[in-house]
Amino acid sequence: MSNKMWGGRFVSGPDAIMEEINASIGFDYKFASQDIRGSLAHVAMLAEQGIIEREAAAAITKGLEQVRHEIEAGTFTFSRALEDIHMNVESRLADIVGPDAGRLHTARSRNDQVALDFRLWVRDTIDTLDEQLRELQKALAERALDHAGSVMPGFTHLQSAQPVTFGHHLMAYVEMLGRDRGRFGDARRRLNECPLGSAALAGTSFPINREMTAKALGFDRPTANSLDSVSDRDFVLETLSAAAISAVHLSRFAEEIVLWSTPQFGFANLSDKFTTGSSIMPQKRNPDAAELVRGKTGRVIGALTGLLIVMKGLPLAYSKDMQEDKEGTFDALQSLSLCVAAMTGMVRDLVPDLKKMKAAAGSGYAIATDLADWLVRALNMPFRDAHHVTGRLVAMAADRKIALEKLSLADMQSVDQRITAEVHDVLGVDKSVKSRVSYGGTAPANVRTQARAWLKKIAREEAGTK
């Protein structure tokens, strides 16, 4: 049988393999609610403009509500022969309403329909992700406030560099997530234009009102070029870029959790809620959730790369290649959402071993910079000379296998006789972090201020959305 939606010039139906490669209903059923929202706005506009009769519009509206109800109730039968969500909905509408259902597709095409549905879906998804990311920021800032004064080693090259606070480290991710949310917000602002009414590619001869449908669907305005409207997917690409960057941030944090929870680091423990055991090695407690957050980042980046490649050779306007825009995007954004939820759980679950962190913060001569800075401040040495003197002191302490602060004053004076007993005021990890009061530095007072400021901002946002 030829297709009942567009089979006018067709004699036979598609080959089985054609049906299989062509159908998108297996995944675009996810657009059901967006598709119906779009059709409701479209039919209301058609009636308002006198393009279809009010009675027909009323019947279509009622029919669409019923279809929505059937889909929500799980009683709707999706058919692969009907290709996609658009034709599945319309076909069922025809069963319910009769021939007047065919008037819904006036001044519209599946090309602007799918562009609309996808924009609505991405917009909804961005809103959910934003809330989730905010929740993760909140969990991080709350823990940062508790640990504003907990000392841990800060690393560069994964070598102990200078002491920092655990709170400061957590707040670094709050900043990253803030920018991630900003990127999603930017993508949302740019995508918030309505493509409906662009029809197949050239617009329509019917006297439609695109302002009206744009407004009804919560868009800022209609899109300005019909060719662009049906053929662009940069709103998806931008969203996937934001998702890929965010996933990379989560992945770096996940990697740190993996490292911290090794017996070798021993900085933090996850509870049974976020770990698994080994079927052969009884002693093991594996940070699988963190590993999976790190691992899933691959698919998110893959979806972005995949869609960039799908789009790069397509002439204007729509080509069926573009049907490949959906599955990777669904998977990527759903994966990111799962990762954010898992990270939020782990941040709340993580128990830092403050003793081990502090001991590690003091090892590896991590306070050497504090000593050099003191030489500059107290003795007015040029920093380069101070660096050299400190290097010799570190070598002396390392030679004796003792900490810097364990060197006697006489030992220190043997390297530079101007050194006084006051030097001991700066030698120590707590003293070190307390002294880093420059804006953005790790001093506990700074961390508290930053954490409180974020928590206040988040509370304001939460109150605004409720």
Choice from 68, 92, 110, 436 touching ligand ARG (CB under 6 A): 110
| 318 contributes a contact to ligand ARG by CB under 6 A | yes
Q: Which is nearer to ligand ARG, 28 or 180 (CB)?
A: 28
Residue 168 annotated among the catalytic residues of the structure: no
CA angle 4, 74, 36 (to 5 degrees): 55
DSSP 406-447: GS-HHHHHHH-TT--GGGGGT-SHHHHHHH--STT---HHHH
Q: Which helix (H) or strand (E) holds 252?
A: helix 234-260
User: Which residues in 376-395 contact ligand ARG (CB under 6 A)?
Assistant: none
Report the nearest approach of ligand ARG to the CB of residue 101 (Å).
19
Q: Which is nearer to ligand ARG, 28 or 100 (CB)?
A: 28
Is 161 strand, coil or helix? Answer: strand
User: Which residue from 169, 229, 237 is spatially nearest to 203, judged by alpha carbons?
Assistant: 229
User: Which residues in 12-71 contact ligand ARG (CB under 6 A)?
Assistant: 24, 28
Report the nearest approach of ligand ARG to the CB of residue 345 (Å).
35
Choice from 111, 226, 229, 246 touching ligand ARG (CB under 6 A): 111
Report the nearest approach of ligand ARG to the CB of residue 265 (Å).
48
The token pair at 12 is: 């036979």
Stretch that binds ligand ARG, among 64-72, 108-116, 276-284, 357-365 (CB under 6 A): 108-116
Residue 337 annotated among the catalytic residues of the structure: no
Taking only Cα atoms into account, the Rg of the chain, rounded to an integer number of angstroms, comes to: 31
Contacts of 80 (CB under 8 A, 6+ apart): 19, 20, 23, 25, 26
Cβ atoms of 180 and 337 within 8 Å: the answer is no
Report the nearest approach of ligand ARG to the CB of residue 296 (Å).
25
Phi, then psi, of 265 in degrees rounded to 5: -80, -55
| 119 contributes a contact to ligand ARG by CB under 6 A | no
Provide the residue type at 42 as one letter.
Answer: H
Instruction: Determine the size of the site formed for ligand ARG (CB under 6 A).
Output: 10
Choice from 64, 114, 171, 332 touching ligand ARG (CB under 6 A): 114
**CA atoms in the 13 A half-sphere facing the CB of 8:** 2
Cβ atoms of 273 and 349 within 8 Å: the answer is yes
**Given the residues 2, 79, 271, 278, the one annotated as active site:** 278
Peptide bond into 386 cis (omega under 30): no
Report the nearest approach of ligand ARG to the CB of residue 248 (Å).
29
Phi, then psi, of 331 in degrees rounded to 5: -65, -45
Report the nearest approach of ligand ARG to the CB of residue 11 (Å).
19
Stretch that binds ligand ARG, among 190-198, 241-249, 315-323, 451-459 (CB under 6 A): 315-323
Phi, then psi, of 165 in degrees rounded to 5: -105, 150
Q: Which DSSP category does 229 fall into?
A: H
Q: Which is nearer to ligand ARG, 130 or 232 (CB)?
A: 232
Stretch that binds ligand ARG, among 98-106, 126-134, 316-324, 360-368 (CB under 6 A): 316-324
DSSP percent split of the chain into helix, strand, coil, nearest 5: 70, 5, 25
Provide the residue type at 255 as one letter.
Answer: E
Q: Which is nearer to ligand ARG, 24 or 239 (CB)?
A: 24
DSSP 349-373: H-EE-HHHHHHHHHGGGTTHHHHHH
Report the nearest approach of ligand ARG to the CB of residue 115 (Å).
9
Q: Which is nearer to ligand ARG, 121 or 260 (CB)?
A: 121
What mask, x for binding ligand ARG by CB under 6 A, covers residues 321 to 340? -xx-----------------
Choice from 35, 59, 84, 373 touching ligand ARG (CB under 6 A): 84
Stretch that binds ligand ARG, among 32-40, 97-105, 110-118, 256-264 (CB under 6 A): 110-118
Cβ atoms of 356 and 267 within 8 Å: the answer is yes
Stretch that binds ligand ARG, among 210-218, 319-327, 427-435, 436-444 (CB under 6 A): 319-327
Stretch that binds ligand ARG, among 55-63, 156-164, 253-261, 320-328 (CB under 6 A): 320-328
Q: Which DSSP category does 135 fall into?
A: H
Q: How many residues does the chain have?
A: 466
Q: Which is nearer to ligand ARG, 233 or 434 (CB)?
A: 233
- Other Cβ atoms closer than 10 A to 8: 8
Report the nearest approach of ligand ARG to the CB of residue 435 (Å).
59
Q: Which is nearer to ligand ARG, 151 or 196 (CB)?
A: 196
Is 187 strand, coil or helix? Answer: helix
Q: Which is nearer to ligand ARG, 267 or 318 (CB)?
A: 318
Q: Which is nearer to ligand ARG, 21 or 395 (CB)?
A: 21
- Catalytic site residues? 157, 278
Binding positions for ligand ARG, rule: CB under 6 A: 24, 28, 84, 110-111, 114, 318, 320, 322-323
